[in-house]
Amino acid sequence: MGLLGLMAACAPGRRPGGRIVTYWRRRADRAMAVAVAGELAWCIRRNGAPDFPDPVLREAGEITIPGDVPYRPQSVVEAYKPIRARMPPFTVEGATL
């Protein structure tokens, strides 16, 4: 996906800071996280949220979405559900998604 990203795409509404966090410990998991996050961000942009930011995979394996996460129309939420289902749980500002 090109989210992680991942990401920040799992709760409707606006979240100041838009921080999404998950941890990927093994190198293979990290590579998968980058791919899935990118796919998720692309899906979100294509389905109604063109300004959705690119996710960032930090050295420790933490994935975050920089800046504010804009409101996502229901069309976006529905479009990314199959992608989101392939991802482990992560949080946005303390809420598990």
Q: Tell me the pLDDT tens digit for each residue of 9-48.
A: 443 333 334 444 444 556 667 777 777 778 878 888 888 8
Between 82 and 2, name the one with better pLDDT. 82
Please name the residue ranges forming H helices in the chain: 27-46, 74-84
Residue 75 placed within a domain? yes
List the single range of 10-14, 52-56, 57-61, 81-85 with lowest mean pLDDT: 10-14
Count structural domains, the chain: 1
Residue 91, judged by CB atoms within 10 A of its CB (0-12, 13-18, 19+), counts as: middle
* 92 pLDDT more than 50: no
Residue 55 placed within a domain? yes
Residue 12 placed within a domain? no
**Whole-structure pTM value:** 0.53
Q: Enumerate the β-bridge partners of residue 15.
A: 69
Residue 26 placed within a domain? yes
Residue 2 placed within a domain? no
Domain that holds residue 54: 20-96
